[in-house]
Amino acid sequence: MRILIVEDDLEAAEAMDRGLTEGGHDCKRAADGEEGLAAARAGEFDVMIVDRMMPKMDGVTLIETIRREGDQTPVLFLSALGEINDRVAGLKAGGDDYLVKPYAFAELIARVEALSRRRETGSVQTLLRVGELEMDLIGRTVHRQGKEIDLQPREFQLLEFMMRHAGQSVTRTMLLEKVWEYHFDPQTNVIDVHISRLRSKIDKGFDRPMLQTVRGAGYRLDA
């Protein structure tokens, strides 16, 4: 995956670059907004990671500019501004996701991968399939190996998110934000309990578990 990192904090940019390159991605760095704009115009990227506050041109202006020019590359905003209004402003400007600093690296990777996947599924899907698991988005039913699995509405949403990001790590924070739409971290492991319930429904009685726990990151649904 080709990733553009627009970040004026050189140390942070370097750490991201190193980590993403190790993960098999191809990274290019820009140290301010103007440089970022030039790089975004010049090259094709699968995902852009853009800091909000930068010298010369801030991240929001940068993204507004490339969106006006028709560039639809998925954008992950990084920001020290974490209030709801700041998030909304970032997403309004054309950002696809918003990560507040300081972040865990696993969180960053998971979100970048989730964004790259989003781009591939352009058309509206009515059926999701991951390995033996089948989800009918219209009939709201789930089958594994042809057997129907009965899910609560929230479990359905949770599984839908995991299926859309099959093969990728998703973090607890991502699940809380995207499935429950809460932007705070509960002090207890509420998400873990929901996942283990879901796991008991989709994996119990089958020979191979699909819903994996990824140490230090979160969960992953494997085909």
Partner 1 sequence: MAMRLPRLFRTTPCRLTLLFLALFAAAASAFLAYIYVATAGEARRRTDQEITREMSSLVAAYDRAGMDALNQSLIERAASERPFLYLLMGPDGKRISGSIAESPVEKFNGQPSWTSFSVTDLDVMGRPIKHPARGFQERLRDGEILFVGADIGEDQAYVVKIVRALWGAGALVIVLGLLGGVLVSRNVSRSMASLTDVVTAVRNGDLAARARVRGARDEFDELAEGLNEMLDRLERSMAGHRHAGDAIAHDLRSPLTRLRARLESAAINVEAGKADPQEALDQAVTDTDGVLKTFAAVLAIARLQAAGEAPNPVPMDPAALGADIAELYEPLCEDKEIDFKAELVPDLTIRGNQEFLAQALSNLLDNAVKYTPAGGAIMLRVRRRSSGEVEFSVTDTGPGVPEEDRARVVERFVRLENSRNEPGSGLGLSLVAAVAEAHGGRLELAEGPGKVGEIGPGLRVALVLPRAA
Shortest CA distance to 201 belongs to which of 162, 151, 166, 158? 151
Where residue 48 falls (left for φ over 0; alpha for ψ -120 to 50; beta otherwise) is: beta
Please identify, among the stretches 39-47, 82-90, 159-167, 203-211, the one whose residues bind partner 1 according to the rule CB under 8 A: 82-90
Least Å distance, CB 161 to partner 1, is: 15
- How many residues at the interface with partner 1, by CB under 8 A? 21
Residues 47-66 that bind partner 1 (CB under 8 A): none
The conformation of residue 94, written as its DSSP 8-state character, comes to: T
Pick one of 24, 70, 184, 207: the residue that binds partner 1 (CB under 8 A): 184
Shortest CA distance to 6 belongs to which of 81, 57, 42? 57
3-state SS, residue 173: helix
The yes or no reply on residue 80 touching partner 1 (CB under 8 A) is no
19 contacts 41 by C-beta, under 8 angstroms: no
The yes or no reply on residue 187 touching partner 1 (CB under 8 A) is yes
Residues 120-179 that bind partner 1 (CB under 8 A): 154
Q: If you search the block for the tokens 């309004």, which residue do you land on? A: 92
Round to whole Å and give the CA distance between 34 and 51: 12
Two structure tokens written together for 184:
């705070």
Please identify, among the stretches 47-55, 140-148, 180-188, 203-211, the one whose residues bind partner 1 according to the rule CB under 8 A: 180-188
The yes or no reply on residue 200 touching partner 1 (CB under 8 A) is no
The yes or no reply on residue 201 touching partner 1 (CB under 8 A) is no
The yes or no reply on residue 85 touching partner 1 (CB under 8 A) is yes
Please identify, among the stretches 53-61, 107-115, 132-140, 194-202, the one whose residues bind partner 1 according to the rule CB under 8 A: 194-202
Pick one of 193, 205, 206, 222: the residue that binds partner 1 (CB under 8 A): 193
Contacting positions for partner 1 (CB under 8 A): 82-85, 102, 104, 154, 180, 182-190, 193-194, 196-197
